[in-house]
């Protein structure tokens, strides 16, 4: 089985076997462990799970929404048929409501309608974080101060949600671009496969435009959890991991003509990127807990 499937299913098994059931703000209990770390070397192949299907187009467009478009406007995603953030979109009247009950969860100025407030792409744009990172990688590869933080205290109160993947650290070693990702809270069945694929694509894109080779991703999680309504699906994925014939790790193709990060295609087709040799064991559905 590809190394990413091994790392992922090992984490899921650890949570189910040793995790603690806890209450949380969503009203749906989760089973959690307090922390976890894994490492992915992109030389081993692209981290797209083979034990379930990964929908790469949506994952790539979400990360480009944040890092390239530097947008907090949910309509940007909706125009590309990506609906990951629909539940968190601020309404026309400036309220953010529970989709099922209609309860007002947070109130904003109506000018923030259709956005997620001062989060993610808003912070990227306000502090010019992608531009600063790429400039540093090109001009000073040995810089040890490349921390990109979405956790800005002054912006949290006016954000719908504080960032889950909140910080990245970047370094160049022996011509390879390496990345450390920090995640404060992790929905393992739904969020983690998307997040890992996104940051692997991002690393490869930035490496390409900076004339570097993709390296290693270290990933640190605080509060890795599985919601109780996701347990059966996760058990099925672990069964596939243990019992089904192994699938090969896929490779990611990036348009080799792209030399500037802004030029990667962020349209509906997302034509600058696709997976080669991707075989998987089929779709698994998990509940999304707001």
Q: Which residues contact 153 (CB under 8 A, 6 or more apart)?
A: none
Q: Which of 207, 181, 213 is nearest to 194 (CA)?
A: 181
Alpha helices in the chain (DSSP H): 3-18, 56-67, 74-78, 121-126, 129-139, 153-156, 191-209, 231-243
Active site residue 186: no
Measured distance CA(158)–CA(155) in Å, rounded: 6
Measured distance CA(74)–CA(191) in Å, rounded: 18
Alpha helices in 54-146 (DSSP H): 56-67, 74-78, 121-126, 129-139
In the DSSP assignment, the letter for residue 264 is S
In the DSSP assignment, the letter for residue 117 is B
For the chain, give the number of residues. Answer: 290
In the DSSP assignment, the letter for residue 256 is T
* Active-site residue, selected from the candidate residues 164, 186, 210, 270: 164
Query: Looking at the annotation, which residues are catalytic?
Result: 164
């Amino acid at each position: 089985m590809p190394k990413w499937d091994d790392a992922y299913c090992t984490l899921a098994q650890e949570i189910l076997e040793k995790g603690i059931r806890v209450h949380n703000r969503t009203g749906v209990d989760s089973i959690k462990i307090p922390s976890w770390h894994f490492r992915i070397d992109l030389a081993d192949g692209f981290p797209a799970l083979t034990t379930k299907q990964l929908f790469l187009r949506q994952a790539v467009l979400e990360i480009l929404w944040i890092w390239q478009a530097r947008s907090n406007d949910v309509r940007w995603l909706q125009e590309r048929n990506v609906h990951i953030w629909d539940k968190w979109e601020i309404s026309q009247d400036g309220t953010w409501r529970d989709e099922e009950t209609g309860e007002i969860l947070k109130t904003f100025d109506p000018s923030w309608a259709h956005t997620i407030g001062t989060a993610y792409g808003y912070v990227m744009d306000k502090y010019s974080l992608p531009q600063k990172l790429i400039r540093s990688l090109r001009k000073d590869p040995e810089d040890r101060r490349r921390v990109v933080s979405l956790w800005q205290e002054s912006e949290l109160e006016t954000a719908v949600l504080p960032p889950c993947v909140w910080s990245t650290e970047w370094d160049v070693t022996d011509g390879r671009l390496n990345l450390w990702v920090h995640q404060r809270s992790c929905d393992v069945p739904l969020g983690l496969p998307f997040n890992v694929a996104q940051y692997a694509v991002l690393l490869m894109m930035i490496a390409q435009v900076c004339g570097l080779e993709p390296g290693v991703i270290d990933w640190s999680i605080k509060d890795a959890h599985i919601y109780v309504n996701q347990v059966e699906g996760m058990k099925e994925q672990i069964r596939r991991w243990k019992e089904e014939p192994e699938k090969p790790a896929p490779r990611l193709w990036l348009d080799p003509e792209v030399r500037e990060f802004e030029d990667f295609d962020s349209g509906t087709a997302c034509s600058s990127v696709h997976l080669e040799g991707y075989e998987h064991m089929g779709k698994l559905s998990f509940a999304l807990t707001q």
